[in-house]
Chains A and B, each alone.
Chain A
Amino acid sequence: MKFKANVKVMLKPSVLDPQGATLERALKSMGHDNVSSIRVGKLIELVLESPDAQEAAKAANDWADRLLANPNMENYSLTLEPLT
């Protein structure tokens, strides 16, 4: 079976996010004073083949733990859906 995984990688809340801070200043300079707490992350899409959803989730989590996210400074969340 084929599955599509979305891995959302974000800097941990404790880690300074200079990109987010810059975007926030840019929006404020456009007059949007009601904006706050901007964080910039990455969205990684991938398709994997696996016998079932459980195995697919296990593999995708393993890849995220080892490569896609750096546990020292990032958290990730994973969604998985079967491709028909």
Chain B
Amino acid sequence: MSAKAAVVVFPGSNCDQDNVRSWKAVTGLTADLVWHKETSLPNYDLVIVPGGFSFGDYLRCGAIARFSPIMGEIVRLAKRGNLILGICNGFQILTEAGLLPGALNRNKNLLYLCLDVHLRVENDRTAFTGDYRRGQVLKIPISHGEGGYSLKASELKALNDSDRVVFRYCAPDGTVSPEDAPNGSQDNVAGIVNGRGNVLGMMPHPERLAEEDLGGTDGRALFTSILQTLKGGL
């Protein structure tokens, strides 16, 4: 079994250490921090693109990080089928890089939102969500100013039709209506996968809720699911 994990560090990343810690706490395995100037990530089965404010969020969130040297390698690994997980700013970077469709727009109320939200698991058959169950409601924090998912209506329909919306903002009882997406995300989208299913982007922070001492463990299953996938071979 191989489950080697890397967490990318851009200037301005601030969730890199949290991901290293949570990956270790949940799986017992170490994850390596990798500076964004690296051009090669040999033997890494999982690459986490963490949250933060890469390059100060200048121009657009993720717009500049997307051209960092490491990104060419991440695109190559994504094409190879390795697992790529983008959380928050990481999700924004992956959309800017074209690895995931759509864009993350300014929150509809213009506020930076740092709060717990409820998420409904929409797809439990991805490489990242096997240990959740479809319809399960999670409580996980968000922390972003630009998280309103935006995609052309026809492409959004295609995303839904192919079951690629993985998490949706919902009410505590699991029902979904527009007011449950505090950032104004279209169709309440909180997380999506690419067509091949090996690249996941999500705005909420599972790495902040993977240990009991931190207030909850709803984020744990994301990491155990990934481990299960990697154990089963790519």
Contact = CB atoms under 8 A, between A and B. Distances in A.
Is chain B found bound to chain A in the same assembly?
A: yes
B106 A19 contact: yes
Interface string B90-133: 00000110000111011111100000000000000000000000
Contact of B95 (A11, A19, A72): A72
A15 interface: yes
A43 B208 CA distance: 37
A77 interface: no
Interface string A3-28: 00000000100111011001000000
A22 B106 CA distance: 12
User: Helix, strand, loop or mixed for chain B's interface?
Assistant: loop
A23 to B, nearest CB: 10
B110 A70 contact: no
Interface residues of B, number: 21
Contact of A18 (B64, B102, B108): B108
A73 B146 CA distance: 13
A14 B152 CA distance: 8
A67 B67 contact: yes
A18 B67 contact: no
A80 interface: no
A67 B63 contact: yes
A18 B103 contact: no
A70 B103 CA distance: 8
Contact of A22 (B63, B64, B110): B110
